[in-house]
Amino acid sequence: MYTPQKSLVAICIAVLFVVSACKQEPKQNNEEEWISLFDGTNYEDWTPKFAGFELGVNYKNRFVYEDSLLSVRYVEQDTFKGNFGHLYHKRKFSHYRLRAKYRFVGEQMTNGPGWAFRNNGLMLHCQEPSTIGLDQDFPISLELQLLGGNGTDDRTTANLCTPGTNVVKGDTLFTPHCIGSNSKTYHGDQWVEVEALVLGDSLVQHLMEGQVVMEFNKPTIGGGSISGYKESAYKEGAPLKEGYISIQAETHPIDFKSIELLNLCGCMDEAAKNYKEYYVKADNSTCEY
């Protein structure tokens, strides 16, 4: 027999079941959304700049896109004449995780400096490419230095070099140009994955095999170790809180298989569709509802 009381009980049980089921659905707020800065196809996202040449000139086609790789190559008759190059990604970032797979190959070009043997770098917080001087050798930046072993000696990678910058290590201002990490040596032509955690100017970490091998904070403009820059771009003491990412052409061939970035700056309004729990810096102008 139908009774209003039984019907009401049934409806309440059904509502509670639906509410409970909704609560048990897994949230997607922590699903990481990595951006492929280079994935084997998006070559148009990168712009070269070589010392002595205008922005956009790929001098002697040294940056090569072939076989789904982003490579640096030198033809046999090339002789080094001081024209270091860099390849800049089009976007600027402040808070992020970065990871790249690379390998050194082949022989260094003729007359390349000894320190540049199996040497490249991921340049972080680079100055705006359009502000780089015509003859400037390196951008104002923080270099996550990539080094390969010579087959015999110890030689760390994920080091720190500071072209036009200073940093704080521990509680001490670090002004020398380069300092080695705590990584192991990677000999030969093996693929190597390197990572970085960059949190504006509050913390930068370099990681190898999931372990922090270099850490510093409070990067600022200063310290020298670059030439040919425009005075308007070299603002002594200014904090480096954001910038562009570039790779180098420093006289030794190298391949990059992938370069990926997880942006840690984004919508932090929990009501938005694109809210992510892992964001550490808010940019609510990007929120979608």
Answer whether residue 242 is part of any domain.
Answer: yes
Given a contact cutoff of 8 angstroms between Cβ atoms, the answer to whether 226 and 137 are in contact is: yes
Q: What is the CATH number of the domain that holds 56?
A: 2.60.120.560
Residue 190 has, within 13 A of its CA and on its CB side, a CA count of 12
Residue 244's domain comprises 34-266
Please indicate, yes or no, if residue 137 is contained in any of the structural domains. Answer: yes
Count how many domains the chain has. 1
Backbone angles phi, psi at 12, to 5 degrees: -60, -40
* Both tokens assigned to 257: 């298989």
Query: If you ran DSSP here, which 8-state letter would residue 280 be given?
Result: -
In a domain, 216, yes or no: yes
79-97 per-position pLDDT tens digit: 888 899 999 999 999 999 9
Inside any domain, residue 9: no
Helix (H) / strand (E) element for 198: namely strand 192-199
Beta bridge partners of 271: none
Burial environment of residue 215 by CB neighbours within 10 A (0 to 12, 13 to 18, 19 or more): middle
What is the chain's length? 289
The predicted pLDDT at position 43 comes to: 87
Closest CA to 264 of 98, 126, 88: 98
Which 8-state DSSP code applies to residue 115? G
* Amino acid type, 241: K
Identify whether 160 is part of a domain.
Answer: yes
Say if strands 203-208 and 211-221 run parallel, antiparallel, or are unpaired: antiparallel
Residue 165 CA, distance from chain mean position: 17
Mean pLDDT for each 10-residue chunk of the chain (289 residues)? Answer: 47 42 54 93 93 96 94 86 94 98 95 94 98 97 97 97 96 92 97 98 97 97 93 96 97 96 97 96 96
Alpha carbon 164 to its chain centroid, in Å, reads 18
131: phi > 0 → left, psi -120 to 50 → alpha, else beta; which? alpha
Query: If 0-12 CB within 10 Å is exposed, 13-18 middle and 19+ buried, where does residue 139 land?
Result: buried
Structure tokens at 35: 């951006």
Q: Give pLDDT, residue 92.
A: 97
The Cα–Cα gap between 108 and 264 comes to 37
Q: Can you read off the two tokens belonging to residue 46?
A: 């990168």
Report pLDDT for 29: 76
18 lies in some domain = no
**Residue 111 covered by a domain:** yes
Asked if the structure places residue 118 within a domain, the reply is yes
